[in-house]
Amino acid sequence: MLDIVRSKQKSFLIKIAFVVIILSFVIGYTMLTAPTDQRSDRSRDVAARVNGDVISFAAYQNVYSNLYSLYQSIYQGAFDANLERQLNLPRQAMQQLIEEQLLVQMAEKLNLRVTNQELVNSIAAYDAFQVNGQFNRDRYVEVLSYQRISPEQFEASQRRELLTQKVREHLQQQVATTQDDVIAFFHRENDTINLDYAWLTAALVESKVQVNDIALEEYFNANQEDFRIPQRVSLRYLLFDPARYEAELGTFSEADMDRYYRRNLELFEVEEQVKAAHILLQLGQNSDPDTINKRRELAQDIRQQLREGADFAQLAKRHSDDAANAADGGDLGYFGRGIMVSEFETAAFALRPGQISDVVQTPFGFHIIKVTDYIAAGFKPLVDVTDRIKAGLTIEESRQMAYEKAMDAFNINRRGGDLDAAAKENDLGIKETGFFAVDEPINGLGRVEEIAAAAFSLQPGELARPIMTTNGVLLIALKDQQPSRLPELAEVKTSVEKAYREEQAQSLAFELARKLLELAREQQNLAAAADQLDLRIDNTGDFSRSSGYFIPRIGSSQELADAAFTLTEADPVIDNIFTFDNRYLVAALKTARRADFSALNDVDIAQLRERLLLEKKEQAVSDTLDELYQQAQIEIIAPELITAFQN
């Protein structure tokens, strides 16, 4: 197959940084690759069976890894173990594979096939395999090699992907829309409602909560575990500070610097930039047409002066309303894409150095732009970033040296757990944390999960393995521990009273919500019922189903949104109390407005039909997959996946 592709395309030299290709390739093309010889023996196991067809554990690992990287790039620093559990990535990954297998099986029943030419065209279309817009054999092999994927493996997975696409297209071709469908779709998206609503919160009724010693003691006895004092430990530790070892580092060789540069190429990436100056004739938010025309005419006059050879900087000083840079000849310095408003950016990046734009209008007014320099996207050459590389290597090497020193101290003293000897050998002072619980910040160290995990697994006389932190490497030993225990009421009375008040207030708030709903249903009028109870009513303002399940001023709730759009003037009150973060909500229809389909022109209707058709096509595939899923014999075999599918 590689030879077929090669025969149909010209070959070009690879001219751009290889890492850029990989970054764009990794997410997209590794989901269904075959296992490599570096995977564990587990990669040969079976993860699941779908109607008897095997899904390998290796395939599952690939999809899981891809999803993990995707969500990590989306959530970045917010992507932690808790969010990973909420997303249930193992289940997501396996469901993707199951759905794909079901589509492949359906393709066999429909006798659908992928031709060699279709495969050739799809591979040649990938940007990752192209040089100067053309498929390149060397690039193809190099990219796949980097991922440890053979051309045969990639082509098999690509053929499989094309096959599932054909099934999707087959299902979507069966979809049609009628005029009635379009009208119903229009009203679903454009009919609006406005809800009255009332929030019932603990804060509204907390003053009514009565507390006495008997009630407090009964509450404490019933909920004593909630006030358990957790196990606490205190530590002694040594900090191996990397800065202490920087003087011991030798000089860095050219090879060291080159490896660091290539390994961290993204640090030296340069975005496309222009250096520009501008003359701004500002417009106010409410400028009248006469003012706008006069400012436009002045801008055009200035542009004509520039055509006749006038000095840009002098005209900027004289006319520009941008006080931040007018005195500097309008100089804006360098900027990349996404910094300026779109009209300004488009004009600036269309110019070459030395060129001046025509008059450009933006929300700020009229601009005349001059570009004085241009920097293409790419990477700073190594010779220009040697100081940064040396600084980076110094940090890396000194941290590594600190870790090695800590590991040596650990290995020498681990049997006796002698932190004092380790401190003496390394000329370090011993520090102490004081007592802390597993979920509490550690004095002097903050919250470090790895430290807490090690601390609460240590026994007296043990040293924990060195722990790398942002401040350096820690060698820790247990100083003392306090076991978990149930307290006496007197020790935690303040906390108990606070919890009791909150629980009672929450209960009173729910009772108030129930009473409001009961009155509103009786009177078929939420506003009147709220007034009777001296409660405040707000309204959402108009919203439609096109907002999804989001209700303005309230939040997202499928249950509330679905119920809201069933309300009528004859039956306006939702017969349910909704809970949002310990707040109770009662809602009712205030007004409803039916959109006017007759106001649409032919273009509007055609666009509406196209959107509906796209939605119905997606729904057709989804419905078919649901049906296939229900009919299929699916056996989840891998133990960790069985757990994921139970959650």
Question: Model confidence over 582-601: pLDDT tens digits?
Answer: 999 999 999 999 999 999 99
Distance of CA 488 to the CA centre of its chain: 45
User: Matching CATH topology for 2-174+637-646 and 232-244+387-482?
Assistant: no
Distance CA 406, CA 159 (A): 52
Q: Nearest Cα to 270, choosing from 375, 404, 350, 139?
A: 375
Question: Is it the case that residue 20 has pLDDT exceeding 60?
Answer: no
- pLDDT, position 74: 87
Which neighbouring-strand residues pair with 472? 469
Backbone angles phi, psi at 206, to 5 degrees: -60, -30
Q: Cβ atoms within 10 A of the Cβ of 292, count?
A: 15
| CATH of range 232-244+387-482; options 3.90.1200, 3.40.50, 3.10.50, 1.10.10 | 3.10.50
Region 552-568 average pLDDT: 95
Per-residue pLDDT reduced to its tens digit, 266-299? 899 889 999 999 999 999 878 888 999 999 999 9
- pLDDT, position 81: 81
Contact between 134 and 12 (Cβ < 8 Å): yes
Distance CA 389, CA 267 (A): 10
Grouping H, G, I as helix, E, B as strand and the rest as coil, residue 377 is coil
User: Buried (b) or exposed (e) across 99-120, using 16+ Cβ within 10 A?
Assistant: bbbbbbbbbeeeebebeeebbb
Indicate the range of 31-40, 158-167, 251-260, 615-624 predicted with least confidence.
31-40
Q: How confident is the model at residue 8 (pLDDT cuts 50, 70, 90)?
A: very low
Q: Tokens for 190, please give them.
A: 């454009």
Distance of CA 359 to the CA centre of its chain: 39
Number of H-type helices and E-type strands within the chain: 23, 23
Q: Nearest Cα to 216, choosing from 489, 437, 13?
A: 489
Q: What is the CATH number of domain 2-174+637-646?
A: 1.10.4030.10
Contact between 175 and 613 (Cβ < 8 Å): yes
Which neighbouring-strand residues pair with 591? 194
Indicate the range of 7-16, 195-204, 265-274 predicted with least confidence.
7-16
- pLDDT, position 13: 27
DSSP string for residues in 579-598: EETTEEEEEEEEEEE---GG
The helix or strand, by DSSP H or E, that contains position 474, with its residue range, turns out to be: strand 472-482
Helices assigned H by DSSP within 361-430:
386-413, 419-426
- pLDDT, position 254: 93
Q: Nearest Cα to 640, choosing from 99, 66, 43, 91?
A: 91
Question: Is it the case that residue 516 has pLDDT exceeding 80?
Answer: yes
Q: How confident is the model at residue 29 (pLDDT cuts 50, 70, 90)?
A: very low
Percent of the chain surpassing pLDDT 90: 75
Domain boundaries, the chain: 2-174+637-646, 192-214+494-593, 232-244+387-482, 272-376
Distance CA 232, CA 482 (A): 5
The helix or strand, by DSSP H or E, that contains position 560, with its residue range, turns out to be: helix 558-564
Contact between 233 and 435 (Cβ < 8 Å): yes
Distance CA 55, CA 235 (A): 48
- pLDDT, position 603: 94
Indicate the range of 20-29, 191-200, 380-389, 431-440 predicted with least confidence.
20-29
Question: Is it the case that residue 406 has pLDDT exceeding 80?
Answer: yes
Higher pLDDT, 128 or 635: 635
Instruction: Write down the residue that tokens 């025969």 correspond to.
Output: 7
Mean of pLDDT over the chain: 89
What single DSSP character describes residue 45? S
Distance CA 279, CA 325 (A): 9
Q: Tokens for 452, please give them.
A: 């807490």
pTM over 0.75: no
Question: Is it the case that residue 85 has pLDDT exceeding 50?
Answer: yes
Distance CA 19, CA 34 (A): 22
Q: Tokens for 552, please give them.
A: 């303005």
Q: What is the CATH number of domain 272-376?
A: 3.10.50.40
Per-residue pLDDT reduced to its tens digit, 99-158? 999 999 999 999 999 999 999 999 999 888 888 889 998 888 888 887 778 899 899 989
